[in-house]
Structure 1
Amino acid sequence: SPTQFYDPTPTLIDGSFDPIDSAILLVAFAGLILLSVAAFERRDL
C-alpha cells in the first residue's frame, strides 16, 4: 500500500514531512511510469 510510506498526520499537525518517505513514493511512481511507457510502446495499437 502506498500509504505505508506516507503518514499524513504529522503533515497536518506540524506541517512537516519525512523527505525519505516522499522520495520512496516518487521513485516508485517514476518506475511505474517508465514501465507503463515501455509496455505501451511495445503494443500495436
Structure 2
Amino acid sequence: MTHDPVSQSTGGRTKKKRRISTSQPTQPSSKRVTRSSSTQPSMGTQS
C-alpha cells in the first residue's frame, strides 16, 4: 500500500527530473545554436 503512492510519487518525480536533466544539457546547446540560427530561437523560447 505504501509502495503504490511512493512508486507513483517517485515515477512522476523521476520522469520530471529526467526531462529536466535532458532538457538542461540540450537547452545550453540549443541556446548556442539558437543564437547562431535565427530560426531556432522559436524552439528555445517555446522550451
Pick the TM interval, shorter chain: 0.5 to 0.7
- TM-score of the two chains, using structure 2 as the length reference: 0.51
Higher-Rg member (1/2):
2
Q: Which has the higher contact order (CA 8 A, sep 6+)?
A: 1
Structure 2 residue ranges without an equivalent (≥5): 32-47
Q: Percent identity?
A: 0
Number of matched residues? 29
After TM superposition, which residue ranges in structure 1, 4 or more long, deviate above 2 angstroms?
Answer: none
Q: Structure 1: any 5+ residue segments left out of the alignment? A: 1-16
RMSD: 1.8
